[in-house]
C-alpha cells in the first residue's frame, strides 16, 4: 500500500511538517484549499478551518473525512449530527472524532511514542500558573504544537 501524507499548514510550519516526514506540504497562505483539484482518500481536519463543501470536493469518491475540532461550534455540530447523512452521498464518509480515553488507548499511544512512530510536537513548556497565558496563545491560533504545563513540586 502506497500512501502519501500531505499536511496543510502556513509558512511558519512548513519546515516542521517536512521534518516530521511529510511527502508534500500545502501552504494555505499561498494555495487556498478550495482552489485545489485533488482526490484524497483520507482528510483529517484538525481545526476544520475550511467549509464542509471544500472538504467534500477534495475527498475521493470512497474517501473518509474526520474532523477533530472545528472553526465553530456550528461546524462541529454539523459533523456530529449530520455526518451520517453526509456520508451517504457518493460513498464518502464524514465523521467527527470524539475522544473516549481508555487505559488501552493510552498504552497504545505510549507504545507508538516509545517506538518513535508517533512524535508529539511540543511548542513550549510553561509553569502551571501561566496556563491562562498558554490558553490565550492557543486561542490566537497557528501554534505549531502543544503547550504543556508543568507543576513545580518542590
**89 and 108, same domain (yes or no):** no
Is 71 inside a domain boundary? yes
**89 and 123, same domain (yes or no):** no
**92 and 112, same domain (yes or no):** no
Structure confidence at residue 136 (pLDDT): 85
Is 2 inside a domain boundary? no
**92 and 110, same domain (yes or no):** no
Is 5 inside a domain boundary? no
From 80, 96, 112, the end of a domain falls on: 96
Structure confidence at residue 153 (pLDDT): 65
SS3 (DSSP) at 36: coil
Number of domains forming the structure of the chain: 2
**81 and 108, same domain (yes or no):** no
Is 143 inside a domain boundary? yes
Structure confidence at residue 109 (pLDDT): 87
Is 138 inside a domain boundary? yes
Q: Which helix (H) or strand (E) holds 9?
A: strand 8-9
Structure confidence at residue 154 (pLDDT): 62
Is 126 inside a domain boundary? yes
**88 and 46, same domain (yes or no):** yes
Structure confidence at residue 117 (pLDDT): 86
**68 and 91, same domain (yes or no):** yes
Mean pLDDT by 10 residues, the chain (154 residues): 82 90 92 91 85 90 85 76 73 82 88 89 89 83 81 72
**91 and 36, same domain (yes or no):** yes
Is 25 inside a domain boundary? no
**80 and 120, same domain (yes or no):** no
Residue 135 grid coordinates:
490558553
SS3 (DSSP) at 124: strand
Is 111 inside a domain boundary? yes
Parent domain of 135:
103-150
Q: 67 has which bridge partners?
A: 45, 96
Rounded distance between C-alpha atoms, residue 69 and residue 122, angstroms:
19
Structure confidence at residue 7 (pLDDT): 92
Amino acid at each position: 500500500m502506497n500512501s502519501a501524507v500531505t499536511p496543510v499548514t502556513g509558512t511558519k510550519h512548513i519546515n516542521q511538517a517536512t521534518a516530521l516526514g511529510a511527502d508534500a506540504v500545502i501552504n494555505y497562505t499561498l494555495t487556498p484549499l478550495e482552489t485545489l483539484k485533488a482526490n484524497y482518500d483520507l482528510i483529517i481536519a484538525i481545526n476544520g478551518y475550511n467549509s464542509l463543501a471544500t472538504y467534500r470536493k477534495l475527498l475521493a469518491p470512497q474517501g473518509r473525512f474526520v474532523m477533530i475540532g472545528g472553526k465553530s461550534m456550528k461546524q462541529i455540530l454539523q459533523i456530529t449530527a449530520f455526518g451520517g447523512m453526509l456520508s451517504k452521498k457518493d460513498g464518502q464518509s464524514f465523521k467527527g472524532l470524539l475522544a473516549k480515553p481508555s487505559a488501552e488507548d493510552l498504552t497504545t499511544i505510549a507504545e507508538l511514542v516509545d517506538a518513535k512512530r508517533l512524535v508529539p510536537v511540543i511548542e513550549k513548556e510553561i509553569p502551571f500558573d501561566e496556563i491562562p497565558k498558554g490558553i490565550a496563545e492557543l486561542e490566537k491560533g497557528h501554534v505549531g504544537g502543544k503547550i504543556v504545563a508543568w507543576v513545580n513540586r518542590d
